[in-house]
Structure 1
Amino acid sequence: MKIYTKTGDDGRTGILGSGRLFKDDLRIEAYGTVDELNAALGVARALGLDEAADSLVGRLQNDLFLLGSALADPNPTGPYHSIIKADHTTALEQLIDALETEVAPLTQFILPGGAATAAQIHLARTICRRAERRVIALARHPGEDVPSALIIYLNRLSDLLFVLARVVNRRAGIDEIVWRGA
């Protein structure tokens, strides 16, 4: 099978079902940003996370693939449309609670950085926030059906990525960079 099909040469791409949308459509922008987030997490893994963090990020990447599939399935009764459930977000919350026990409570703002892996996770967090904004824009667009579970998941995921970046720095023995203010 060839990687190029030439079917997108007219500026459109296929979505689940039989539809085709322009590549700058809100739906394509939303799941494309989720794909970018997934790739950013892949870079964090390639940089060398510890075994526990690597396993966690691998699970997140799989969830993001599901979330992207949900966004690529505009049919409310489609097989992937509602594949992300409240349980996915609950699992993120449990991970946040567990990881927060490894770091001191925040008393001031910190800057993204530290270990290369932590910095990459901070970058992924910002991409996650952009993905969330793109999914919200899609959900607000007339005629679009976007399960609220997708927005909630992305909101919680960005929180998890923030905590994970802090944990990765702590495990690496690197101090957080405190924002000094104006």
Structure 2
Amino acid sequence: MIVTTKHGDQGNTVLFGAKRVSKHHFKIEIIGQLDQLQVVIGLLKTKVSKTRILAELLAIQKTLYRTMAAIANTKALISQELATETKQLEVWQAFWIKKSSIKNQFVIPGQNEAEAFAHLARTQTRQVERLLSKHKQIELIPYFNRLSDYFFVISQYLLKP
């Protein structure tokens, strides 16, 4: 397997369909932020032992990969799929809210590693959401809005002893 191709050495990369774009093209910027979110979720998974949360995080990661592919491929539309996934996030969020004691106040992250990583995932998700808004990818925003809420709720659940 060849890893280094040197095709990107001039500041360009290739999207699906062999379309060459600049590495600062908005799609590459969004995909890069989604890739960072993938890594943060991976870090969070290393600090979580609850099987249900791990399964949810894996499902989220798979959705993010499908979203990255759809952004790279202008022919792939995932609006309907993301609408379904958005509803799923709402179900998960409601479940974890019942298991948590969320106070109506600002929180200071860092009570434990898992909670801190959940907040990092939340803030990285907000970064993705801002980029989607900036580049008028409006149909994708509801999913990421719910996802950041999900990470907040999970962060509060992870405070439980």
Common topology (TM > 0.5): yes
Q: Tell me which residue corresponds to 1:167.
A: 157
In 1, the alpha carbon distance for the partners of 2:104 and 2:89 equals 23
Q: Tell me which residue corresponds to 2:78.
A: 82
In 1, the alpha carbon distance for the partners of 2:158 and 2:104 equals 19
Letter in 1 for 2:2: K
Is it true that 1:62 corresponds to 2:62 in the alignment?
A: yes
The Cα of 1:115 is off from its aligned counterpart by 1.8
TM-score with structure 1 length normalisation?
0.82
List aligned pairs for 1:17-28, cutoff 5 A.
17-28=17-28
Letter in 2 for 1:169: L
In 2, the alpha carbon distance for the partners of 1:96 and 1:65 equals 21
Letter in 2 for 1:125: R
Letter in 1 for 2:45: R
* Deviation by residue 1:118-167 (Cα, 9 ceiling, x = unmatched): 1011001100000111111122xxxxxx361x111111100001001111
In 1, the alpha carbon distance for the partners of 2:16 and 2:135 equals 16
Letter in 2 for 1:41: I
Deviating 4+ runs (over 6 angstroms): none
In 2, the alpha carbon distance for the partners of 1:113 and 1:130 equals 20
TM-score with structure 2 length normalisation?
0.92
* Deviation by residue 1:43-78 (Cα, 9 ceiling, x = unmatched): 1112343222211111111111111112112x2xx1
Equivalent in 150, 156, 171 of residue 146 of structure 2: 156
Count of aligned residue pairs for this structure pair: 160
In 1, the alpha carbon distance for the partners of 2:153 and 2:88 equals 14
The Cα of 1:105 is off from its aligned counterpart by 3.8
SS at match of 1:13: strand
Counting helix residues as a fraction of each chain, which structure ranks higher? 2
Q: Tell me which residue corresponds to 2:99.
A: 102
Residues 128/25 of structure 1: CA separation in 2 closer, same or farther (3 Å cut) = same
Q: Identify unmatched segments of 5+ residues in structure 1.
A: 140-145, 174-182
In 2, the alpha carbon distance for the partners of 1:147 and 1:15 equals 21
In 1, the alpha carbon distance for the partners of 2:31 and 2:55 equals 23
CA-based RMSD of the aligned residues comes to 1.5
In 2, the alpha carbon distance for the partners of 1:70 and 1:108 equals 37
Letter in 2 for 1:129: R
The Cα of 1:18 is off from its aligned counterpart by 2.3
Q: Tell me which residue corresponds to 2:6.
A: 6
